[in-house]
Amino acid sequence: MRLLLVRHGQSPSNVAHLLDTQVPGPALTDVGREQAQALVGLLGDEGIGLVTSSPQTRARQTAAPLAAALGLDVEVVEGLEEIAAGELEMRGDEPAVRAYLGVVGSWLTGDLDVPMPGAADGNAFFARYDAAVERVVARARELGAGVAVATSHGAAIRCWTGVRVRNLSAEYVVATGLLNTGCVALEGEPETGWTATSWMGAALDPERAEAAGAGPAGEPATPSVF
């Protein structure tokens, strides 16, 4: 099947560069709502039969215009939430952000036993995100949908795909970044694995994606991954 992982639109904490990972978290900004509406034009012809979202407000609001345009409901799936910041929550200072990204980087390179300060380790993150993806796929199969959307979060999408998707890597997801409402298109199944076919609209080699330093239109990779 085809799974479209979509990062939520801009939130106030994105603008302020804060580690804001709690549930339900903030709503979208005006810009974020415009970005969410733009997904209708970007993804409306993909043949989507299921639209899902993390429980976080910004993700649900991002998914809503697309679902409405397709005559679907947004189905909330537990486990698609952002990587919890724990003791670093709502901090935006450089030491806190470096600590958060350092833990995520450890997970990307295989050290899953490193915990986020005051929160879960990588084993727990991958267990809950794997389970969430499996729930999305199971629901799509139940509906007979060949294409499903999962609206989630920057660090979570990049970390999970950098490890679980066969033609992606830690280097690629870190260097390329994922802008607000950026979409990662995957083909596959939980049982057989996943291949990325595009990242923010840029087609990818099914064997190996090469790391890039900018977004699809020369935009710098976003410093805000939450």
Least confident of 14-18, 87-91, 199-203, 222-226: 222-226
Catalytic site residue from 75, 81, 82, 153: 82
Pull the structure tokens for residue 107.
């997970």
Q: In this structure, are residues 197 and 188 in contact, taking their beta carbons and an 8 Å threshold?
A: no
Please name each of the domains of the chain with its CATH number. Answer: 2-203 (3.40.50.1240)
Residues 85-119 pLDDT 10s? 999 999 999 999 999 999 999 999 999 999 999 99
Among this protein's residues, is 82 annotated catalytic?
A: yes
Exposure b/e, 117-140, CB count within 10 A at least 16 = b: eebebbeebbebbeebbebbbebb
Rounded CA separation 75/1 (Å): 18
Bond preceding residue 12 cis, omega within 30 of 0: no
**Is 60 exceeded by the pLDDT of residue 131?**
yes
**Is 80 exceeded by the pLDDT of residue 223?**
no
- Model confidence at 221, pLDDT cuts 50, 70, 90, reads very low
Catalytic site residue from 8, 75, 81, 153: 8
- Model confidence at 171, pLDDT cuts 50, 70, 90, reads very high
